[in-house]
Amino acid sequence: LEGYVGFDSITSQIEAKLLKRGFALNIMVVGQTGLGKSTLVNTLFSSHLIESKGRLESHEAVRKTTEIHPVSHLVIENGVKLRLNIVDTPGYGDQVNNDNCWDPIVKYIKDQHSAYLRKELTAMRDRYIADTRIHVCLFFINPTGHGLRPIDVAVMKKLSDVVNVVPVIAKSDSLTLDERDLFKERIRAEMQYNNIRVYPFDNEEYEDEERELNERIRALIPFAVVGSEKQVVIDGKSVRGRKNRYGVINVENENHCEFVYLRNFLTRTHLQDLIETTAHIHYEQFRSKQLLALKE
């Protein structure tokens, strides 16, 4: 081992440090009122939830979201901490006049970038900047089977300029599996036609493995999800699910819906990439614009 200095141990040091600090993922949910946004969020994080801060939304009747507010959950899996900050937004497009209905949502995202930039510019004092930048925006699509409304296209476009957008088909239990696949194809075609740039994007640095994974994700998107806050009994076992006219849906069963795919995508395969893409692409774009404006 002549000449061995031992700096390769740095990787395990960094890893230990990162694991100790844990990760924070900021998720925003956007879509019409009643599409199951709050339900899905509660479903996503119920399994490993250990602590929740913020307003708890337990009574369905009184929880219609009227303003943008973050709720924070801490989940721990195998000793690794993940802090999930969920930003629920009021349903857009419910008004008679929907002009610029996306403004408050886009403003919220930009405000977080702006706050981060301010902290960065006055930095040095704080070693660690609390990060409220939105890493992923789950965009809920009405399961009509037809396609996107013009307003959805407009909002998706606005959002994809400033944040990682991941579309999901809401309440997909209202479609048969055939209808669901057709609908997914149609949505993908419409997004492409309208030049909507949805996450994940490839980057020169990616390895073949990451490219293949992203290819698979792009073929799956939009995730057809079902959410439920209730337990149902299937084959004598109590699972998170819903009863409907076709039978019983087990939210966690991949043959029933793509909830598990979405969860793996958010908290496993793309967690770090969502965070990095936000910092290196979306935030960087915002930052360079602001700094240019300062110089003028």
CB 70 within 8 Å of CB 24:
no
Interface with Mg ion (CB under 5 A): 37-38, 65
Provide, rounded to whole angstroms, the least separation between the CB of residue 242 and ligand GDP. 6
89 binds ligand GDP (CB under 6 A): no
d(Cα 137, Cα 134) in Å, to the nearest integer? 7
Is 37 or 263 the residue whose CB approaches Mg ion more closely? Answer: 37
133 binds ligand GDP (CB under 6 A): no
263 binds ligand GDP (CB under 6 A): no
Which window, 2-10, 33-41, 160-168, 208-216, contacts ligand GDP (CB under 6 A)? Answer: 33-41
Which window, 9-17, 75-83, 167-175, 191-199, contacts ligand GDP (CB under 6 A)? Answer: 167-175
Question: Could you tell me which residues are beta bridge partners of residue 70?
Answer: 87
Is 38 or 160 the residue whose CB approaches ligand GDP more closely? Answer: 38
Strands 136-141 and 23-30: parallel
Judged by beta carbon distances under 5 to 8 A according to partner kind, the member of Mg ion, ligand GDP, none in contact with residue 185 is none
Backbone conformation region of residue 126, classed left if phi is above 0, alpha if psi is from -120 to 50, else beta: beta
113 binds ligand GDP (CB under 6 A): no
Among residues 15, 20, 33, 246, the one that binds ligand GDP under rule CB under 6 A: 33
H helical segments located in the chain: 10-21, 37-45, 103-121, 150-160, 177-193, 208-220, 259-264, 271-277, 284-295
Judged by beta carbon distances under 5 to 8 A according to partner kind, the member of ligand GDP, Mg ion, none in contact with residue 22 is none
d(Cα 30, Cα 159) in Å, to the nearest integer? 10
175 binds ligand GDP (CB under 6 A): no
H helical segments located in 122-258: 150-160, 177-193, 208-220
Judged by beta carbon distances under 5 to 8 A according to partner kind, the member of ligand GDP, Mg ion, none in contact with residue 226 is ligand GDP
Burial 198-211 (b: 16+ CB within 10 A, else e): bbbeeeeeeeeebe
Which positions from 209 to 228 touch ligand GDP by CB under 6 A, shown as an x/- string? -----------------xx-
Nearest to 227 by CA among 257, 207, 182: 257
Q: How many CB atoms lie within 10 A of CB 226?
A: 27
Among residues 22, 23, 24, 34, the one that binds ligand GDP under rule CB under 6 A: 34
Among residues 133, 171, 180, 282, the one that binds ligand GDP under rule CB under 6 A: 171
